[in-house]
């Protein structure tokens, strides 16, 4: 079978993917004027080789848009992607070569598959596009089906409607692996599965990561799953990154009020430890007209007047730990503001 040659010039110390100042705004014309939805606004982070980077945040914070920008299903308005030292889309790393090394698994396992193609055909399709012979692509599709726990003799010639949700998601994972990628983006890949199937797919992802030397970007609302699977966690709010750091550090000593509110919203298995008061008041502001300064200040119990005037940047607050909060930065004006002027909370 014709092998794929991956570009790996940077060595183990270099991040696999660097995201620099990524911006994506959606424009829509309406009767009362032109509206701009600031879905992703000046987002920067790194994905290290061999890690799982978890991405969390409320619905509408820009997680899925960021994933589609990483996959280049959407073109950014500004910013750049650097994959292992090479600019994505440049002559040294054209888009076809980049997409061969970066694959994505979507939330809806049924909509992700062509209903007119068998599982064998769906998995082999990518390799056929890249010039692999039909015979070799078919053999590799059977190998991948077995690798994700589906017997090729039983499942290779089935259509999507004949499979359960967990089986379809395993096929989607196999299809993503068919191109022998180095980075796999998982956008709510297990959220539609019941818990028993979800546990099986999560264990499968861990096994594949170890045996195939993969790197994951794992997007999910389920903080329990993110904590179990991730090495580092990136927290987004209203199109911006507000905190990033080691998974256990964020869960035990988070530096941003929004992260702490997310953690307090996690369901508890202890009936004596019920959530009686909402960790956050109000709804997220509109991405069409986000607040000035810190975008979280309208819902933050620690906000002061300076929070509405100064936009915080991601600053180091610990080993490998960054937070975009003036309160977490000892030299910021938040600590010098006297008297304390609390910002009214949004009801």
Q: Where are the domains of the chain?
A: 17-28+36-237, 280-335
The answer to whether 301 touches 307, Cβ cutoff 8 Å, is no
> In a 3-state reduction of DSSP, which class is residue 165?
helix
What CATH architecture is 17-28+36-237? Answer: 3-Layer(aba) Sandwich (3.40)
Indicate if the pLDDT at residue 260 is higher than 60: yes
- Rounded-to-integer distance, Cα 281 and Cα 16, Å: 38
Task: Look at strands 102-105 and 183-187 and give their pairing.
Answer: parallel
Q: Provide the pLDDT for residue 266.
A: 82
Task: Kindly indicate the confidence band of residue 11, based on its pLDDT and cuts at 50, 70 and 90.
Answer: low
Indicate if the pLDDT at residue 14 is higher than 90: no
Q: Provide the pLDDT for residue 244.
A: 97
Query: What residues contact 340, with CB distance under 8 A and at least 6 apart?
Result: 304
Mean pLDDT of 22-45: 85
Please name the residue ranges forming H helices in 254-310.
257-264
Task: Kindly indicate the confidence band of residue 343, based on its pLDDT and cuts at 50, 70 and 90.
Answer: very low
Q: Provide the pLDDT for residue 342.
A: 45
pLDDT digits (tens, 9 = 90+) for 169-204: 999 999 999 999 999 999 998 887 888 888 888 999
Indicate if the pLDDT at residue 317 is higher than 50: yes
Compute, in degrees rounded to 10, the torsion defined by CA atoms 318, 319, 320, 326.
10
Indicate if the pLDDT at residue 119 is higher than 90: yes
DSSP state letter for 140: H
The answer to whether 84 touches 14, Cβ cutoff 8 Å, is yes
Tokens representing residue 42 in the block: 């000046």
pLDDT digits (tens, 9 = 90+) for 71-89: 999 999 999 999 999 999 9
Q: Provide the pLDDT for residue 347.
A: 35
Q: Provide the pLDDT for residue 84.
A: 95
Task: Kindly indicate the confidence band of residue 32, based on its pLDDT and cuts at 50, 70 and 90.
Answer: low
Containing 199, the helix (H) or strand (E) segment is: helix 195-212
Rg of the chain over all Cα atoms, to the nearest angstrom: 22
pLDDT digits (tens, 9 = 90+) for 240-252: 999 999 999 999 9
């Amino acid at each position: 079978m014709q092998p794929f040659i991956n570009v790996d010039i940077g060595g183990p110390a270099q991040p696999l993917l660097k995201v620099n100042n990524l911006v994506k705004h959606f424009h829509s014309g309406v009767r009362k004027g032109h509206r701009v939805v600031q879905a992703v606004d000046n987002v920067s982070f790194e994905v290290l080789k061999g890690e799982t980077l978890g991405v969390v945040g409320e619905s509408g914070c820009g997680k899925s848009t960021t994933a589609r920008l990483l996959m280049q299903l959407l073109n950014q308005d500004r910013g750049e992607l650097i994959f292992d030292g090479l600019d994505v889309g440049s002559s040294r790393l054209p888009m076809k070569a980049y997409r061969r090394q970066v694959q994505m698994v979507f939330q809806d396992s049924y909509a992700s598959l062509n209903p007119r193609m068998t599982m064998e055909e769906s998995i082999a399709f990518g390799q056929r596009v890249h010039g692999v012979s039909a015979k070799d692509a078919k053999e590799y599709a059977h190998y991948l089906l077995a690798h994700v726990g589906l017997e090729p003799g039983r499942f290779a010639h089935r259509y999507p409607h004949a499979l359960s949700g967990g089986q379809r998601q395993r096929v989607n994972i196999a299809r993503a692996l068919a191109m022998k990628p180095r980075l796999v983006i998982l956008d709510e890949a297990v959220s539609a599965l019941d818990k028993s199937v979800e546990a099986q797919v999560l264990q499968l992802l861990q096994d594949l990561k170890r045996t195939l030397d993969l790197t994951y970007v794992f997007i999910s609302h389920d903080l329990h799953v993110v904590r179990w699977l991730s090495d580092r966690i990136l927290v987004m709010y209203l199109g911006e990154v507000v905190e990033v750091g080691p998974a256990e550090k964020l869960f035990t000593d988070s530096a941003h009020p929004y992260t702490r509110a997310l953690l307090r919203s996690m369901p508890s298995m202890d009936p004596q430890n019920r959530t009686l008061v909402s960790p956050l008041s109000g709804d997220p502001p509109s991405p069409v007209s986000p607040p000035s300064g810190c975008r979280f200040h309208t819902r933050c119990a620690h906000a002061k007047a300076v929070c509405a005037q100064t936009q915080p940047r991601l600053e180091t607050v610990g080993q490998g730990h960054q937070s975009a909060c003036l309160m977490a930065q000892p030299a910021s004006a938040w600590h010098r503001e006297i008297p304390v002027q609390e910002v009214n909370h949004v009801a």
